Structure 1
Amino acid sequence: MAQKIETTASAPLPVISAGEELEAAIRAARLADPVIDGPDGRRHVFVPRDFNLSQLPDDTRLPAIPAQRVIVDDRASLVTYANRFRDDRSIIVADFDALEIAAHLDWHPHNAMPDSFGQSGALKHSVTLKLRASEEFQRWDAMEGKVHPQEEFARFLEENSSDVGYPEAATMVEISRDFEATVGQSYKSSVRLDNGDRKLRFESETKVMNDVIIPERFTLNIPIYNGEEPDTLTALFRWRAVGGGAVALGFQWHRVEYQRRAHFAQIASTAAEETGLPWIMGRKAT
């Protein structure tokens, strides 16, 4: 007797919405490539249970360190930043050739730290003061070492007479106006006075003689570096007779380069005192 087989109608398939389809696709994509590299170098993985983001263990990974190189414009800012982040490893390096004073905050440990001496510092965190010449020094330095036409140099002296310490600013203005008055006259002679000053004699077309006395030297009270206190700089007057009876004028620095170096060292030394850090004059080898 043949066995009777009963059949039933198949159950209807579940209806899947568009949102559920998108969620399924996202889940599949996460499972296909579950490992994610973070911007700081740490690795994470999506796990199936609710797809929580879990960090992968890494026994070889070093602890995070500050990595920042800051440029500042004055010594006070250098000191403030260094005092906030310095530790027993920190050191100041002053490079005169580059006009930079840098506090390396994660330098190598010194020999007073026996547990870590010999290890290498990260050298990723520093603050650097980049010194710039002051506006006043830039103006005078641009005129130095060259001779200029009488009218041009006289105008420069008058415009910048407030920077002069000796002789008085009023005297420099008077000298500049004397030179302006002799423009167009003919240079005749020069006499060196007992005090080292120079008397230049000019003659007009009507044979009127005019004398202009210029000092052998003059001093300036101006800062060498931006944001620093003024220095007393010495300049030597220079002149030269040129064609057509005219005179060209100028000046030269007197030992100013020594003062630039000395003031640079003073800035570095003061920064070291205000931070309690050791300092060296030199530069990092590249």
Structure 2
Amino acid sequence: MKDAIQHLVALSQGLGKPIEGHGLAYPLALVPENLEVQDLEQHLPAPVRVRQHISMLDAESFVAYVNRFTTPATAVFCNGPTGRTFKAIIDYHKPEQPSWADHTVSYQCPRTVEWSNWKDTDRKKMDQASFAEFIEDNVKDIVQPDQDTRAPSAADMLEISRTLEAKKNISFRQGTRLDNGQVQLTYNEQIDGRAGETGQLAIPEQFYIGIKPFLGGDAFCVQARFRYRIREGALVMWFELVRPDKVLEEAYNAVRAKIATGIGTVPMYEATI
């Protein structure tokens, strides 16, 4: 009974007053209302540990942040080409010494506008006017690689685009494959309701685009097949990116190599984040 009374006295004396003791990271106080225990960390000059979650927009910033705050416990996790996310836990666990893992920084390999434009239009069938408009809007991404001299340049694709756009009333009849790998379409242009001039339009078999899949990442040369169909005299055109998944995989591997080099000895693991 005496011990219980002393305990109540000690408890009443501690109400509303800071309680400090060995092993406490910060002082505590017993609040009279509902006898709740509240920590007083917010009244200290600084927090007892970092609690921060940051998302970076480029790999360089991710590396710089990790290098600034790294500790012997820091670890980086990445979830491969499909997830394309890197996450560093600055205060991660050590063997037989668990930690809070409250300080993290991540980088999710955000896609560029240019990559989204081409990927979202991949294999999308368009009439000649829509296709011409798309090529004109994105002609700056078209490149002519040294290893394929037959590939059209940006100027060639722009000229094809403008030719298609200018010819409003055309009946396409047939296509002939040329020795240089291009397809030559024969068309008949109608003028004021009368039979107009006939001509030929050369369309390349394939072309290339040079773009960065990820913001702040490396640029890649991507092959695109040029496809068309003639339906009831009307020309339907589209393009097919060749192995875009492989391009993203290579882009991810390039980012992973850059981060691994940048963070030095900080361990990196492939894992589900």
TM bracket (short chain): 0.7 to 0.9
User: Which consecutive residues of structure 1, in runs of 5 or more, have no partner in the other structure?
Assistant: 1-29, 47-54, 57-62, 110-116
What is the match of residue 220 of structure 1? 209
Give the CA RMSD over aligned residues: 2.7
| Matched AA of 1:85 | F
1:34 aligns with 2:23: no
Distance 1:199 1:279 in 2: 53
- Residues paired across the two proteins, number: 232
1:141 aligns with 2:119: yes
Give matches, 1:197-236, under 5 Å. 197-205=182-190, 206-236=195-225
Give the superposition deviation at 1:237: 0.7
Distance 1:70 1:85 in 2: 13
User: Which consecutive residues of structure 2, in runs of 5 or more, have no partner in the other structure?
Assistant: 1-11, 20-24, 32-38, 41-46, 145-151
Distance 2:29 2:206 in 1: 73
What is the match of residue 34 of structure 2? none
Give the superposition deviation at 1:282: 2.9
What is the match of residue 68 of structure 2? 84
What is the match of residue 172 of structure 1? 157
**8 Å contact from structure 1 (residues 102, 126) kept in 2:** yes
1:24-52 Cα deviation digits (max 9, x unpaired): xxxxxx97942469xx9740379xxxxxx
2:136 to 158, 172, 175: 158
Greater relative contact order structure (CA < 8 Å, 6+ sep): 2
1:267 to 255, 267, 273: 255
Give the superposition deviation at 1:86: 0.9
| Matched AA of 2:75 | I
Superposition TM-score, scaled by structure 2 size = 0.76
What is the match of residue 60 of structure 1? none
Give matches, 1:30-69, under 5 Å. 33-35=15-17, 42-44=27-29, 64-69=48-53
* Aligned-partner SS, 2:82: coil
* Aligned-partner SS, 1:126: strand
Superposition TM-score, scaled by structure 1 size = 0.73
1:45-101 Cα deviation digits (max 9, x unpaired): 79xxxxxxxx99xxxxxx943221111111111011101111222222122333311
Distance 1:85 1:168 in 2: 47
What is the match of residue 55 of structure 2? 71
Shift in alpha-carbon separation, 1:35–1:129, aligned structure 2, 3 A: same
Distance 2:234 2:87 in 1: 50
Distance 1:104 1:150 in 2: 51
